[in-house]
Amino acid sequence: MVFVSTHDVELSALLANEYDLYHFAEAIENNQFYFDHKLKTGPLNTSNAIRILEMYNYPAEIIEEAQNISKNLSMVNSNN
């Protein structure tokens, strides 16, 4: 039995070739995290990391850079 915990999308994609994927999901509402604590099948399909930076009042330039990196990664991944 193999257990891997990661936020790495690329690693998840590699693992999906050999293993079944499961995830926990959270929601952010009114600047609060909500977890239903239910194990769901498949890869995680949401990303809240930048939203978390905003919630914790990280500097705007860090948030902007994170958004730019995320957009660039999305473009690279959509071209593959």
Say yes or no: 22 and 59 in one domain. no
Say yes or no: 51 and 66 in one domain. yes
Residue 19 CA from chain centroid, whole number: 19
Say yes or no: 2 and 24 in one domain. yes
Tally of domains within the chain: 2
Say yes or no: 41 and 52 in one domain. no
Q: Where are the beta strands (DSSP E) in 1-80?
A: 22-23, 26-29, 32-35, 40-41
Say yes or no: 41 and 56 in one domain. no
- Cα–Cα distance, 49 to 63 (Å, whole number): 10
Question: What DSSP assignment string belongs to 8-24?
Answer: -HHHHHHHHTTS--EE-
Domain range spanning residue 53?
Answer: 47-80
Say yes or no: 70 and 37 in one domain. no
pTM: 0.63
80 residues of the chain, pLDDT tens digit each = 888 888 787 888 899 999 999 998 888 888 888 888 999 999 887 778 888 899 999 999 999 999 999 888 877 767 76
